[in-house]
Structure 1
């Protein structure tokens, strides 16, 4: 089979297209014929890191395809089923940038027949991260379903990004009023297409006043992509006992906390990354995301607020460059 691998950390040029033997699933695993592989910032960050966890790595956490073999202890009826994959390369040397990959059975989630592989490969990290961000509030739900966030206001910072897009879609599916903040008109169009009820350009006018006009009592949950840059705005619009769920710090600005201000607000800061969220949280997120997909709540494509930028397997290095350079939309690798 064809696979992308790297044997040393570094830039995109360390990625190579090679031939490898077809992997066999071990007990509790499934083998998937990959149709589309999803690329996330975590993939290039792992590739460019300072230490190799394995002598050789096939990258990419997310993907979608068809199960073609199962290991001992897995229902044979799963063979031939369409699935989306999450955390495929987490703690393992083989991700989805290959014609076939092997994953624990629970990381292969049924994909409805009417949902394309490109949508399945766009779930994974963005959707599960969004779910986590929306389910950590002190007085909020731990699971998402229609109505679970009824009466709540969610602020999706960076509403045109892949995680911000999933936050908007999941929060709206769960009944929240959703506000997206963006940096310009094109991203405003994408956040609106994703389903945000209100979209505010944080570079114009007084964004905190605009948000307070929508949510006079304050925002319940902020799903934050750039805490260092946005903290002042977040605290200006957060309601008492509100939650700031931080999944990234784009721009890398340092964070300084005004302790008395946050004491008065009873602010909850939740820092999150899927690797250490724990199996209960990721399993619940996968179940809820699957339900949202079945309800048609997580479509992709420019018309739904998430443009798809696609590369063939032999141009995976270019796909990594696109993600590193901040390409707007979801970067995918099509596996022949």
Structure 2
């Protein structure tokens, strides 16, 4: 099979290669998926780049955690009824802080545990299915990890990002009042297309003052945070008493300083969101809920660009540049089988 590989961390154009590899057979409890599409997340490019001191966990790595495809065979203990099933995949490489798996979805085939291959509703094609995984599971936990948000006010920091756009859709579908920040006119347009959302440009508006006005001084019940260190001062100024900051990233400063009493005086919580660390119950609830939203047409990933496997370095560069919309690799088998 063809696969993208790297044997050292570094710039995408220098370390990523296309190689001919042997496809692994599914082991006990596993399925063999013919990969149609592979989703690329910031976590994937950070891992490949060696961000924050990350080192190679294996001598050779096939990148990417997310993807979509068709189950072609199953291992011992998995029902043969799954053969031929369209699926979306999550966490194919494992999470941060652990060695995880060496072989991700940037390959023509992948063997992985059966529960990490989730039925893909016919309402989505394979390209869209590759965009679920990390963004959708992260967004689900960020919005609903502490219970219902019906009637509550949410602020999505970075609403035009992959996680942000799914957060907006989940929040709206579950009855919340949704506000979000963006940094560009194109980002504002993308978010506005999702529904009834109040949008702020973080470069041009005083976010805390605007939110105080819109909420009559009460503040925000739940803030979903894309960069805790960069936005913490604003978050505290916007947060309602007993509110929660659900932070899924802190890229600008991996070791932020927290103003303890500013948070404690609010009775606030900071919820650290790690899409690789959902419990089994959380994953089951999230997978079910995500698929139900897809069927009801209240959730749809937004794709910004697709690339063939051979152009994986360019695809990684797009993600690193923070381009709008999710980035997807297409594998050779995709042609003609989008809805097999």
What TM-score do you get using the length of structure 2 for normalisation? 0.90
Taking the aligned partners of 2:4 and 2:224, their CA distance within structure 1 comes to: 33
1:183/1:16 CA distance change after superposition, 3 Å: same
| CA distances 1:115-144 after superposition (whole Å, capped 9, x unpaired) | 11111111110111111111344xxx1xxx
Taking the aligned partners of 1:208 and 1:48, their CA distance within structure 2 comes to: 35
Detail structure 1 runs of 4+ shifted over 4 Å in the superposition: none
Matches within 5 A, 1:211-222: 211-216=211-216, 217-222=218-223
The residue number in structure 1 matching 2:66 is 62
SS in 2 for 1:113: coil
1:251/1:194 CA distance change after superposition, 3 Å: farther
The residue number in structure 1 matching 2:209 is 209
Taking the aligned partners of 1:281 and 1:327, their CA distance within structure 2 comes to: 30
The residue number in structure 1 matching 2:89 is 85
Taking the aligned partners of 2:142 and 2:205, their CA distance within structure 1 comes to: 28
The residue number in structure 1 matching 2:168 is 168
| Structure 1: unaligned runs, 5 residues or longer | 142-147, 301-305
SS in 2 for 1:223: strand
Contact 2:134 2:276 in 1 (8 A): no
The farther-off stretch of 119-128 and 277-286 is: 277-286
- The RMSD of aligned alpha carbons is 1.6
What TM-score do you get using the length of structure 1 for normalisation? 0.91
The residue number in structure 2 matching 1:197 is 197
The residue number in structure 2 matching 1:271 is 272
Selected match of 1:123 from 124, 129, 132: 132
Taking the aligned partners of 1:211 and 1:111, their CA distance within structure 2 comes to: 38
Matches within 5 A, 1:307-326: 307-326=303-322
Matches within 5 A, 1:242-281: 242-252=243-253, 255-281=256-282
Selected match of 2:107 from 88, 98, 106: 98
Matches within 5 A, 1:275-290: 275-290=276-291
| Structure 2: unaligned runs, 5 residues or longer | 95-99, 333-340
Q: Work out the number of aligned pairs and report it.
A: 322
Selected match of 2:328 from 311, 329, 332: 332
The residue number in structure 2 matching 1:75 is 79
The residue number in structure 2 matching 1:10 is 10
Taking the aligned partners of 1:307 and 1:215, their CA distance within structure 2 comes to: 33
- Cα offset, 1:307, TM superposition: 4.1
- Cα offset, 1:284, TM superposition: 2.7
